[in-house]
């Protein structure tokens, strides 16, 4: 089954003609085709996604892929099959991307806060000078990993590439750095 959401047969024939015209350089036909495809693609995605906020992003990805692959469309094949094939691939790519991003997120429950009296008191807060001193106490690799991931906002994978480390090694190094910083903070009364 290609899709549950199907444009009328005469539409797909018209779309095939519009794509052929677009392949021949007709910009107006191409704009019309993309405009007519968009609501159909949104309906197609609405039945497959729980978060409606993602639909516009995925439609954009699909339309870009259609644009990039428009030269591969063969008029003797149904346009609808070609379009939905691209849509399915882009939908899967998008879900994989979202899965990778979600896998790198940490919930607030994973963080341990300091419960000591005055921990949230500004007078007793860690100063920038104290933080610099704590960072200087870390080994170079641990300091670099913390600065790149927490200050500069790089992902673990990006940090690993820049430092010549595997992503797993970066995670282990970051964990060890957090542990050393915590020990330092406790030792100095924070």
What confidence tens digit (pLDDT) does each residue in 66-81 have?
999 988 999 888 898 9
Neighbours of 84 (CB within 10 A): 21
- The confidence band for 8, taking pLDDT boundaries of 50, 70 and 90, is very low
Nearest CA to 173 out of 146, 151, 142, 149 is that of: 142
Reported as a single tens digit per residue, the pLDDT across 87-126 is 988 888 888 887 776 666 665 555 555 555 555 555 555 6
Give pTM, 2 decimals. 0.48
43: pLDDT strictly greater than 50: yes
Instruction: Report angle CA 177, 125, 138 to the nearest 5 degrees.
Output: 20
pLDDT band at 2 (very low <50, low <70, confident <90, very high): very low
Task: Select from 49, 78, 103 the last residue of a domain.
Answer: 103
CA distance 51 to 45: 10
Alpha-carbon 145 to chain mean position: 22
Other C-beta atoms closer than 10 Å to the C-beta of 35 total: 9
**Number of other CB atoms surrounding residue 78 within 10 Å:** 15
The rounded radius of gyration (Å) of the Cα atoms in the chain is 26
Mean pLDDT of 47-68: 83
Residue 143 lies in a domain: yes
Q: Which two tokens stand for residue 97?
A: 């991307």
Same domain, 99 and 127: no
Q: What is the CATH number of the domain that holds 165?
A: 1.10.10.10
Q: Which two tokens stand for residue 14?
A: 């018209």
Range(s) of the domain holding residue 167: 108-187
Q: Where among 74, 103, 132 does a domain terminate?
A: 103
CA distances from 82 to 3, 16, 108, 171 (A): 12, 10, 44, 42
Say how many C-beta atoms besides its own lie within 10 A of residue 42's C-beta.
16
């Amino acid at each position: 089954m290609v899709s549950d959401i199907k444009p009328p047969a005469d539409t797909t024939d018209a779309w095939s003609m519009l794509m052929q015209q677009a392949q021949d350089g007709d910009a107006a036909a191409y704009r019309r085709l993309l405009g007519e495809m968009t609501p159909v693609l949104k309906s197609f995605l609405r039945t497959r996604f729980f978060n409606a906020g993602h639909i516009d992003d995925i439609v954009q990805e699909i339309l870009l892929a259609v644009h990039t692959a428009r030269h591969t469309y063969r008029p003797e094949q149904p346009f609808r099959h070609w379009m939905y094939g691209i849509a399915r691939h882009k939908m899967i790519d998008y879900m994989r991307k979202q899965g990778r991003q979600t896998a790198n997120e940490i919930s607030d429950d994973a963080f341990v806060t300091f419960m000591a009296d005055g921990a949230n008191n500004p007078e007793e807060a860690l100063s920038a000078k104290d933080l610099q001193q704590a960072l200087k106490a870390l080994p170079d690799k641990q300091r670099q990993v913390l600065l790149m991931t927490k200050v500069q906002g790089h992902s673990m994978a990006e940090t690993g590439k820049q430092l010549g480390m595997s992503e797993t090694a970066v995670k282990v190094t970051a964990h060890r750095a957090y542990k050393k910083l915590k020990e330092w903070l406790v030792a100095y009364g924070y």
